[in-house]
Structure 1
């Protein structure tokens, strides 16, 4: 599973998030090393928020946590963070991509188990778990409600399902940062929202759903047990790895969205990508601020 590349908001919360949709790019042509490195950096960027969320989940779970699934794990960074909190559990990274799972196993030094599954067809392969984490993966499946019901079905009695979806889109510059018209990021968000809606509409078995996650979890047969939002903040001036991550994100936005932006916003985006004082690789005012929302529910 691989996070949506139409919308920064959904790609960053994300983690991971990962449904294996590459928008027409054949798997054989994917640069898996580049993708894995980007997903690893993205997950590491959110490490503090994920650790806080995992410790919150540990407090919510009443019984022993023996087996944890990270559904849509990508290269396994978040799965490894979960393993740091749930030290007595088998933690399993689940993804569609064998290449990313190989990387997950290697980078964890054998601490993680890995399981390849092509969802939604292979939910039945997952096996029972006491805790399931799914970060920005459900929105890549056409029928989100059915996906939640399938995950609920593999929870052990008393088990907890944690779904990281929605949250807030990232901000990385002031509203007016001296290039083009003020409000550039808000206009980018609007274009990305349209792209995300188009992606959802094209998924196999797509069902339009009001995304009230607590209500959806309840319809899946679970008892909602709380929703919390965790802040992801990297202050200006940014460290080089965060700048490089932002540059990669903006480059992807340029590739995907340029035809939908007006000429002035395209020029602003090009200036942000330039290896120059105007670019995110060098700007002293660049920061990174986002929020990850986690919805939880328990199986009776």
Structure 2
């Protein structure tokens, strides 16, 4: 892997994980809206936004080419289900004041990425990278002890996002076309949900105050931007590197949950953060060594 490509991938990863880290602040403003309603708006407006990008960049031919491959469409459909489930659980966690549990799930995701990279892609780690992973495992173990049990929110978020990253890495599809097809795949479920709710007297698409409507539309754009960056990162980096960068997201979420939302914090979590950041330092040192010796 060339150094410039790896550095570009790291930059894309920082953008994606930084934006995701501040998502609780944004979606907290929509806590009065049912999670599935928000998911429906996210899918629709993200689809519209990405469709606009495809038009500006004149890339619709890429979409047509992808649609001719049944295997690619099936994989994209699976990716859409995984990321849709991830969105829905995350939205529920924000509304239910379970952002700490959400952050734990995203702390677990890098371990899922590493496991998938080793098992499926035959990726290998050097000694420093194994040390960084070991420190991360110790941090996650400490988190599990602090919680007393592993919550389902954390498990779902970790497994769905980790598997989504693997699928997107294996698909030879450009970032914009892939995301548009993913959001398109979600629309039938969202429309079906809207019809079901309409029969029960609840309007998913209308009746919102102006500010809420504006936030729902903006959620589509904010959904697309980090996903585009994440997909670009996965195409340029191995899953282990993507996994280590992932710690930026849960760290920001955890700080938001404790300092801004007032969710309880046990002193034992301070040890978790120390282990995590030490692991990041070790991994960064290893990555810098690779960069210095690359041609």
The TM-score, its normalising length taken from structure 1, stands at 0.29
Q: Which has the higher contact order (CA 8 A, sep 6+)?
A: 2
Which structure dedicates a bigger proportion of its chain to strand?
A: 1
The TM-score, its normalising length taken from structure 2, stands at 0.30
